[in-house]
Copies of this chain bind each other. A is one copy, B any other.
Amino acid sequence: MKKLINGVDQIVSEMVEGLVAAHPDKLRLIENTNVIVRADAPVQGKVALISGGGSGHEPAHAGYVGEGLLDAAVSGEVFTSPTPDQVLEAIKAVDSGSGVLLIVKNYSGDVMNFDMAADLAEAEDITVKQVVIRDDVAISNPDDRRGVAGTTLVHMIAGAAAAEGKSLDEVEAIAQGVADNVRSMGVSLSPCTVPASGKPGFTLDENEMEIGTGIHGEQGVERRELMQADAVTEELVQHVLDDMHLNDGTDVALMINGQGATPLMELYIVARKAIQLLKDRGIHVKKTFVGEYMTSLEMTGCSVTILNLDEERKRLLLSGRE
């Protein structure tokens, strides 16, 4: 395991320290926690948004804290959901009395820890709502689906809605609308190494890939022979579309997300094909994101995310922050 770190135990704390030191005008670290909040939190009269989860997905989640996006991010150990007390600290730091929305990816750990935090916050008379993201179509049962790259579109759109001064119920409904209309699917060409374990999560031959990988270095749903970029893209896009039932002429947002170690060059090659495929199917791509939005340490590969845009989501996404 070759990593630019000082020690396995300090990774997360040093990372959040670095993030805040790099952007002291915009971010603040809550003492004795790994919670990063907007420097000006709580923002009066605004619904506060909190996201979080295990670390190792950078720029998610702390990289999304800022104006028009999140009010706080809670970073757990690498690939380990943060604890309820840390989430509670975040809630208390950002609530201005207008309520707090927790953006939670659908993992047992995240769901349970954020749930417990919400209970603790309610006990302190803070109004907390949650939206759970399940965009990964690699898992067939919709209830069991993981939250992956699509989560970042919730940050952007719900963030823009909250910045407009919408109420907690309105922001929640908009976030839920994104969650209900976003689908993703990923592929990996090589694994990542969780620092604490020191060993790669799995091994692949030179000609193999894992289809349907999540964002925690776990194997995918199927191991396949490595294909060319266009064929891989077609597979991912088709899988996502099969789950969406989009009408001809539908507006969508497209995200080609790198898993951490994929050169941007390759992501653009994938984007090219994905845009072609959508065009061929009469679908209008109104906004394309290409880059690293939700990573898995140094995993190689990418995911394709498609979000069905109604008028409100389109307006918020096109006017909002990235």
Contact = CB atoms under 8 A, between A and B. Distances in A.
Interface of A: 2-7, 11, 14-19, 21-23, 55-56, 58-59, 63, 189-190, 206, 209, 226, 228-230, 232, 256, 260-273, 275-276, 288, 290, 292, 295, 297-298, 300-302
B228 A270 contact: no
B272 A21 contact: yes
B290 A18 contact: yes
Nearest to A23: B288
Nearest to A229: B4
A268 B302 contact: no
A19 B268 contact: yes
Given A272-B14, A300-B2, A58 B262 contact: no
29 contacts: A2-B189, A2-B206, A2-B209, A3-B266, A4-B267, A4-B270, A5-B228, A5-B269, A6-B229, A6-B269, A11-B265, A11-B269, A14-B272, A15-B268, A15-B269, A18-B268, A19-B268, A21-B275, A21-B276, A22-B288, A55-B265, A56-B263, A56-B265, A58-B264, A261-B261, A262-B298, A263-B295, A263-B298, A292-B292
Given A22-B290, A263-B298, 4 more contacts: A4-B189, A6-B229, A14-B269, A261-B300
Contacts of A17: 272
A302 B265 contact: no
The interface residues of chain A, by DSSP majority, are classed as mixed
Count chain B CB atoms within 10 A of each CB in A189, A226, A263, A271 and give the residue with the most.
Answer: A263
